[in-house]
Amino acid sequence: MLRQAARQTCSLLRRPNLRPLGYPVKHLKFSTVHSDLTEDDFGDYSVILPEEPYVFGVSHIVPRSVPSSIARPYYAVPGFASDDSGPIPRAERITLGGEAEIQLREAAKLARKVREFAGTLVRIGITTNDIDASIHDFIISHSAYPSPLLYKEFPRSCCTSVNNIIVHGIPDDRPLEDGDIINIDITVFLNGYHGDTSQTFLVGNVDRPGRELVAATNQILDAGIRACGPGKKFKGIGKAIDGLVRHSQFSVSSQFTGHGIGTIFHRPPWILHHLNDEPGVMMPGDCFTIEPCLIQGSNPRGWIFPDGWTASTENCARSAQAEHMVLITEDGADVLTQ
């Protein structure tokens, strides 16, 4: 009954005038006594729900400071109007063999380094706010800017998505618990180029369904990467991922996509991780992310918390994500953040 009540709470919160049914919003547990994962059996973990009373937006969160000596992306320049959409995102191929490729690879290399550093921070009891503070300082110490900070008013320097949070979790003061899984999404802006990567980490003793989810997420990321190369169709990425997921106990979110990346944080091509019929062929110089969100069960739908960013699964099932940057070369595909 606890699992049923928790999932009902998750569903009710999506209706504007209904409140949770009296359960502690940050410490609900799904538990199981079954040996095999079924549609209604997602394991033993805490469910993340919005704090009460609900606060809409993120204007109450004070962003961390960045030295004026560090170059910023356009949206983080002092005086930039939040209602200004900035440059129109268009496809942008990197000139291979030149300075642009060198700078792109350096940004990706730093993103990988920050992701690995982030993994060393994950432990029982640390808050995601503390993780964010350490990541912020680490990025700044490498003379780079944390790309999420102030992007469309996002108030933190990385995204931390725990358990049922699919993406865009805002670091807060909840301590990580034994059995949590946490995705830490890192993007850095270095010498005019963005580097973007993420990984889902295990906190303490994670149950078998949680471990299987995280392992499967990395497997489907690898499958999507293997579908890349000059002359290959972008829709082949989603087809490769679907080939692994279709007959599994998981589903892939179609609400969140990969994206082109370079001097602009998010731009075409948009990378769909599910079966699709999007046009387009990969060409040398294309650089993009592959970042599938894999969700327990057959319902991959999500909803957004009152903060306008945090995306939870609709039924509070767990989600995991992994992300790499891929650069198409003349004869293959380089994974820049691996």
Give the annotated binding-site residues for substrate. 168, 266
Q: What is the DSSP string of 129-146?
A: HHHHHHHHHHHHHTT-EE
Are 148 and 171 a contacting pair, CB within 8 Å?
Answer: no
**CB contact at 8 A, 266 and 197:** no
C-alpha 333: how far from its chain's center? Answer: 22
Give me the half-sphere count of Cα atoms (radius 13 Å) on the Cβ side of residue 46. 20
Q: Cβ-count burial of 256 within 10 angstroms (0-12 exposed, 13-18 middle, 19+ buried)? A: buried
Coil/strand/helix, residue 6:
helix
**Binding site feature residues:** 168, 185, 196, 259, 266, 291, 323
Residues 6+ apart with CB under 8 A from 138: 114, 117
Closest CA to 43 of 211, 209, 248: 209
Annotated binding-site ranges for a divalent metal cation: 185, 196, 259, 291, 323
